């Protein structure tokens, strides 16, 4: 019995030993596949889910933005405006550097000079008797000793007409950069105002087309009922259905325009892609328009284009002065304090090495092959061009003031008329529907009244936005009022 059990155990062991290589191979293969999968996951690039339009809608209530909020956001994200602000910072630093060039600067210089020695005993004795320094003497007469250590502080001051002119020019360029920054800021106001009220009007037009679509669908039901009663022909039903289909297509186009306007405004306002916001419709409270005399005074006082042209002329005048400075003498003054000795020490053999010296250099230009006179001519040409541009800017200011004010005044006066036209168009459609049901009007009159109402509503919305844009354009010349 025991022998039989031992035989069975021995057979199982033999079978296991035979299967052992296969099991090991499978185990190694599983580990290899697992390792390869982990390596692939580690090496695979990290993917970021890009949110589709409207994906943020469920994350919370949409952000409500006023026109002032939109302007603040746009000033942070618009690259052209930020570039103008950067130019102001760069011009300010240029002015700091030009001012620093007029002030004395201090440097500390340390150097070591080695010169080949002279082995002439007579020269060495003479040098020893004259300088009280015995030993080798330098071979080159321009050097003071074989081993010379120089460690001195240098206070340097340069005085020239060109230096003062360059400082004044940098001040004018700073004023020019500030004026251009103001131009960019007011131009951004126009762009944001146009995009902001473009979205407002697009939403209004979408609502207008929705109402027109509901009215056309209601008119289809009326014609069908009248056609069943034998009061109108089937042609009226066909015309009503055609009008209803057209309104559906107009509704799709209005929705597309609304989404396009939302995207245009989103690009201006947000640093990342975001469409989950709403705008405040404040077109019903238009900004008052001042008189032309007030606008003219503000334009002459606060116009950035005029300031930019004036700063350009001032910079050109300083360029002329700097060019003339190249023909005038310049003075350089240096004051040195430190050591200039044969040993790097404050004292050598009881002798104090510390001392000071000064150098004043007056440089007088004599001959430069006409390059200095050429610079003067170039500066005068730029000066004359700046004067012409200054005169043209003044004329354009007067022209644009009258043009933009006339645009704003016309848009303001037309809003009341457009509002009245929209009200009368709505009343006309109501009366035409009643006349059609009474058999006194044709289906064409009803369709025409529907289209007229939609156009009148859209024209009123466009008129309100036109006035806001005209005010923004006028304020590019005058500033806020």
pLDDT given at position 457: 96
Query: What whole-number distance in Å separates Cα of residue 368 and Cα of residue 378?
Result: 16
| Distances 404 to 296, 377, 395, 400, 472 between C-alpha atoms, Å | 11, 40, 14, 6, 9
pTM of the model: 0.77
Better-predicted residue by pLDDT, 125 or 418:
418
Q: Are 128 and 134 in contact (CB under 8 A)?
A: yes
pLDDT given at position 317: 96
Query: What whole-number distance in Å separates Cα of residue 221 and Cα of residue 217?
Result: 7
**Cα angle value 458/459/463 (rounded, 5°):** 120
| Distances 173 to 166, 315, 323, 356 between C-alpha atoms, Å | 10, 6, 17, 41
| Distances 311 to 13, 157, 161, 184, 265 between C-alpha atoms, Å | 102, 29, 20, 16, 34
CATH class of the domain whose range is 67-103+160-328+369-478 = mainly alpha
pLDDT given at position 448: 96
Pairing of strands 355-363, 137-138: unpaired
Q: Are 158 and 231 in contact (CB under 8 A)?
A: no
With bands split at pLDDT 50, 70 and 90, how would you rate the model's confidence at 26? Answer: very low
Tokens of 154: 């240098």
Better-predicted residue by pLDDT, 475 or 59:
475
Per residue in 84-142, pLDDT (tens digit) is 999 999 999 999 999 999 999 999 999 998 898 876 555 555 555 444 455 567 878 78
Per residue in 219-258, pLDDT (tens digit) is 999 999 999 998 899 999 999 999 999 999 999 999 999 9
Let me know how long the chain is.
481
227 contact partners, CB below 8 Å, separation of at least 6: 233, 234, 236, 237
Q: Is 362 helix (H, G, I), strand (E, B) or coil?
A: strand
What number is the average pLDDT over the span 387-412?
Answer: 95
Tokens of 183: 């131009």
**Cα angle value 268/270/272 (rounded, 5°):** 125
Instruction: Spell out the domain ranges in the chain.
Output: 67-103+160-328+369-478, 110-157+334-364
């Amino acid at each position: 019995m025991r022998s039989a059990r031992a035989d069975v155990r021995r057979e199982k062991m033999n079978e296991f030993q035979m299967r052992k290589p296969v099991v090991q191979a499978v185990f190694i293969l599983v580990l290899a596949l697992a390792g390869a999968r982990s390596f692939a996951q580690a090496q695979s690039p990290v993917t970021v889910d890009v949110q589709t339009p409207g994906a943020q809608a469920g994350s919370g209530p949409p952000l409500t933005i006023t026109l002032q909020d939109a302007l603040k956001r746009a000033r942070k994200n618009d690259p052209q405006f930020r570039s103008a602000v950067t130019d102001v910072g760069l011009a300010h630093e240029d002015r700091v550097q030009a001012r620093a060039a007029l002030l004395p600067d201090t440097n500390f210089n340390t150097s070591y000079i080695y010169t080949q020695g002279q082995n002439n005993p007579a020269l060495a004795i003479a040098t020893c008797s004259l300088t009280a320094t015995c030993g080798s003497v330098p071979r080159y007469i321009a050097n003071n000793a074989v081993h010379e250590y120089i460690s001195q502080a240098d206070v340097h001051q340069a005085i020239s007409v060109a230096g003062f002119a360059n400082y004044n020019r940098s001040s004018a360029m700073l004023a020019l950069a500030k004026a251009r920054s103001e131009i960019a800021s007011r131009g951004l106001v126009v762009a944001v105002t146009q995009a902001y009220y473009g979205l407002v009007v697009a939403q209004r037009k979408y609502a207008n087309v929705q109402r027109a679509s509901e009215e056309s669908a209601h008119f289809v039901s009326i014609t069908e009922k009248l056609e069943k009663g034998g009061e109108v022909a089937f042609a009226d039903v066909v015309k009503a259905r055609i009008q209803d289909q057209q309104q559906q297509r107009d509704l799709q186009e209005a929705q597309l325009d609304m989404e396009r306007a939302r995207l245009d405004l989103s690009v201006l306002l947000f640093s990342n892609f975001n469409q989950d916001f709403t705008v405040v419709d404040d077109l019903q409270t238009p900004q008052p328009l001042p008189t032309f005399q007030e606008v003219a005074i503000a334009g002459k006082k606060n116009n950035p284009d005029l300031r930019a042209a004036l700063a350009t002329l001032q910079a050109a005048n300083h360029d002329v002065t700097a060019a003339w400075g190249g023909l005038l003498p310049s003075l350089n003054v240096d004051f040195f304090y430190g050591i200039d000795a044969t040993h790097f020490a404050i004292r050598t053999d009881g002798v104090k090495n510390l001392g000071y010296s000064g150098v004043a250099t007056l440089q007088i230009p004599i001959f430069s092959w006409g390059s200095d006179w050429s610079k003067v001519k170039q500066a005068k040409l730029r000066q004359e061009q700046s004067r012409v541009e200054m005169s043209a800017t003044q004329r354009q200011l007067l022209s644009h003031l009258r043009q933009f004010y006339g645009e704003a005044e016309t848009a303001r006066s037309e809003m009341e008329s457009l509002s009245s036209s929209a009200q009368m168009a709505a009343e006309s459609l109501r009366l035409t529907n009643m006349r059609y049901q009474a058999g006194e009007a044709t289906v064409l009159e009803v369709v025409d009244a529907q289209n007229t109402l939609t156009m009148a509503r859209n024209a009123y919305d466009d008129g309100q936005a036109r006035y806001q844009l005209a005010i923004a354009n006028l304020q590019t010349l005058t500033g806020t009022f």
